A = this chain, B = another copy of it.
Amino acid sequence: MALTTRLTQKLGIEHPIISAPMAFAAGGTLAAAVTAAGGFGIIGGGYGEPDWLEREFAAAGNARVGCGFITWSLARHPRVLDAVLAHAPAAIMLSFGDPMPFAPAIKAAHALLICQVQAMKHAREAVDAGADIIVAQGAEAGGHGSLRATFTLVPEIADYLARVAPETLLVAAGGVADGRGLAAALMLGADGVLVGSRFWASKEAIVPERFQQAAVGADGDATIRTSVVDIVRKKEWPAEFTARVMKNRFVDDWHGREAALASAENAAHELDRYSRAWQAGDIDNTGVFVGEAAGLIHDVRPAGDIIGGIVAQAERALARSRTAT
C-alpha cells in the first residue's frame, strides 16, 4: 500500500516523510538514504559552514535532496545560499527568521521553498514569502523551536492555508517518530510529516553513538527546552527560540542561571568543557539535541528501515479506524 498525499505528488516521492535538516547531524549520507527509501532527505545546512556543506553534498552523491538553513544565521552569511543552490537542490528549507529576503533566489533556482514555522505569525510570513510547503513545528521537537504544540498548530495553519493559500502544502513536525504520528498528522490536516529525532537515532546520522543510546534509554520526560546550549556556544538565537535537549549535568547546572553562564568568569571554561564533551560523546557535559519523541525511540536503525516502519504502522493505524467506525 502507499499513502498518497499532495506532498508525495509535489515532491515526486513515494512516502509523505521528510527528514529534518538537523544541524551537524543530518549530513548527505542520511539525506540520500531517506530519499532512496522513498522519502525526501534534507541536508542540515545549520549555521552555514561552507566546507561542511560541500562535503555533505558530495556524500549525498546524485541523490535528489534538499538543504535547510537557520534563517537568521543565513542572513549573516548570505553567499552560502548561492553555493548550495549551485548543487541544484530540489528544495531549500528555511527556519527561524524571515524567509522573504531569500525567496527570490530560491525560486529563481527552481528549488521548492519550504518554510518551517513555530507560530501563526510565522505562518503568515511564510505565505507572504510564497512558500511552496509550510512545516508547522511544535515545541515537542528536538533542537531549536518555540512554544506552540504540534497538536494545535497544524490544524490552525491548515485552516489558515485553506483560506488564504490553498495551493500551499502543510507538513507536521515535532513529536512525529512513528506511524501513529504520521497517521495523526494526516488527521490534523497535514499533507505529510517532517521527522527529526527518529532519524537522529539512525545509523546514517552524524551523531555519537553514546548520544543515541542515551536517548534510546530515556523516556520523553528526559528533555527540556533551554537556551543554555546556545549561550555557551555564543550562538545569538532570537529569544523566542530555545533548544530541546536532554537534561544532564550541564543543563541542570545552568538552566535558570543564564546570566551567570554568559559571564566572563564562567563562559570560557564551560565552552571548553562543552566542546570537549561534544567531541568525546560525553552525554553529561554537552548538549544532546533530541525531542520528546525520545520516549518513542527504542533502537538505532538504518533510515530506510525507519521509513518502512513508519509507513507500515501508519497503515495499520488507519486500517483499524476503518473497522472502528
Contacts and interface: CB of A to CB of B under 8 A. Distances in A.
Given A295-B120, A321-B186, A181 B155 contact: yes
Q: Is the interface of A mostly helix, strand, loop or mixed?
A: helix
Contacts of A121: 221
A188 interface: yes
Contacts of A138: 149, 151
B292 A152 contact: yes
A185 B153 CA distance: 15
A68 interface: no
Interface in A186-200: 186-189
B3 A324 contact: yes
A319 B321 CA distance: 9
Contacts of A1: 325
A interface, size bucket: 35 or more
Contacts of A178: 155
A315 B325 CA distance: 8
26 contacts: A1-B325, A3-B325, A120-B219, A120-B220, A120-B295, A140-B148, A140-B151, A148-B221, A149-B150, A149-B174, A149-B292, A150-B151, A151-B184, A152-B175, A152-B291, A152-B295, A153-B292, A155-B178, A155-B296, A156-B219, A156-B220, A180-B187, A186-B321, A187-B317, A321-B321, A322-B322
